[in-house]
Amino acid sequence: MPQKLIIDADPGIGDALAVMCATIDPDVEVVGVTAAAGSISGVQATRNVQALIELLDPPLRPRIGGCSEGESAEAMPVDQHAVTPRDMNGLLGLGDYNPPEIDLHNRRESPKLIVDLVRDSPNEITLLTLGPLSNVARAFELSPDLPGLLGGLVCLGGSVNYGGNVTAAAEFNAWCDQIAARAVLRSPAAKTLVPLDVSTRATLTPEQVSQIKPVPSAASEMLEAMLQFSLRAHRQHMGIEGVRLDALVAVAVATRPDSFESKSMAIDVETSGQLTRGMTVFDRRVMSTWQTNIDVVTGIDYLGVADYFLQTIRRI
């Protein structure tokens, strides 16, 4: 039976590639894709999600959750020398592809849709978050018993030893909404965290990108536009020859439990530090006083993640 999945995302090229793969993977049933504000605004995230689903046109269409609130990270104060989401994803989030400005009819807001879908299939759905945790925190507020109804919660974000990627201490998703990150990561849900220490190590090489030759279609044109933009952005802004597959690592963790290793740890999120706001803090003292509350991925088959992307994306 396919793994039921809700994907909460702020696409972003990386998130868009992950949504595409999961949606066309026959072993996964994506029942919902919910938009979140983060690397782009909530409105733009909603349009990007809708464009992805419309172009892919899967036999089983996931429900789409909209987001009308929240600025993009471009409007937030940050180190002026930091690489920005616009640098890596383009003005509208999908590189050289410009999604149409079509708004959802009878739109269901993302937190409410998460609640409804999970309640319809209790203990069957894994919620995969690829962006800030604002929608999940709000869903937990709307339905306090929701953490116990999830089949699992997999969150892309945070850092153990890697440091930050938006400030010296903080990872982007936790930094964007550190209050929500703290609430969700300390919640009683069965949680797995995919930190920067692991997610940054899966990369698609330029040679592998050149081997992707899907059947010509509107979806494959979007894929080509995103990949070529991402290759240039990684080279120009990060000095990397290739495309990092952070979000695909999280998809693998959510759908392939035998592909990774993890360790139970105790986590909290800094919400007020001038230099450390958004930092994920782990109690690793010999005489720890915090109770373990999350499984943290410590290793995964990185080459397998790239192979999974290449094999799945050809189905377009």
**Chain segment 258-314, per-residue pLDDT in tens:** 999 999 999 999 999 989 999 999 999 988 889 999 999 999 999 999 999 999 998
**Mutual orientation of helices 13-24 and 246-255 as an angle, nearest 10°?**
30
Residues of the chain with pLDDT > 90: what percent? Answer: 84
Rounded to a whole number, what is the distance in angstroms from the first to the last CA of the chain?
22
Written in H, E and C, the secondary structure of 264-275 is EECEEECCCCCC
Instruction: Categorize the per-residue pLDDT at 213 as very low, low, confident or very high, splitting at 50, 70 and 90.
Output: confident
Domain count, the chain: 1
Helix residue ranges, H only, the chain = 13-24, 42-56, 85-89, 110-120, 134-142, 172-176, 178-185, 196-199, 206-210, 218-233, 246-255, 302-313
pLDDT, residue 121, reads 97
Within a domain: 239: no
* pLDDT at residue 75 tops 70: no
Q: Is 154 helix (H, G, I), strand (E, B) or coil?
A: strand
Instruction: Categorize the per-residue pLDDT at 69 as very low, low, confident or very high, splitting at 50, 70 and 90.
Output: confident
Instruction: Categorize the per-residue pLDDT at 64 as very low, low, confident or very high, splitting at 50, 70 and 90.
Output: very high
Residue ranges making up the domain that contains 127 = 3-202+246-313
Average pLDDT value for the chain = 93
Instruction: Categorize the per-residue pLDDT at 80 as very low, low, confident or very high, splitting at 50, 70 and 90.
Output: low
Q: What is the mean pLDDT of residues 120-134?
A: 98
* pLDDT at residue 123 tops 60: yes
Whole-number Å distance between alpha carbons of 36 and 8? 7
The answer for residues whose C-beta is within 8 angstroms of residue 175's C-beta and 6 or more apart is 164, 166, 167, 277, 278
Within a domain: 233: no
Q: How many CA atoms lie within 13 A of 276 on its CB side?
A: 8
Whole-number Å distance between alpha carbons of 275 and 312? 41
Check residues 257 and 81 and name the one with the higher pLDDT. Answer: 257
Whole-number Å distance between alpha carbons of 58 and 261? 31
Which CATH number is 156's domain given?
3.90.245.10
Helix (H) or strand (E) segment spanning residue 260:
strand 260-265
Within a domain: 21: yes
* pLDDT at residue 101 tops 70: yes
Q: What is the mean pLDDT of residues 220-225?
A: 94
Instruction: Categorize the per-residue pLDDT at 20 as very low, low, confident or very high, splitting at 50, 70 and 90.
Output: very high
Within a domain: 147: yes
Which of 18, 10, 34, 28 minimizes the C-alpha distance to 250? 18
Within a domain: 221: no
Within a domain: 208: no
- pTM equals 0.95
Instruction: Categorize the per-residue pLDDT at 240 as very low, low, confident or very high, splitting at 50, 70 and 90.
Output: very high
* pLDDT at residue 77 tops 80: no
Check residues 193 and 59 and name the one with the higher pLDDT. Answer: 193
Helix (H) or strand (E) segment spanning residue 300:
strand 294-300
Within a domain: 139: yes
Instruction: Categorize the per-residue pLDDT at 74 as very low, low, confident or very high, splitting at 50, 70 and 90.
Output: low
Within a domain: 145: yes
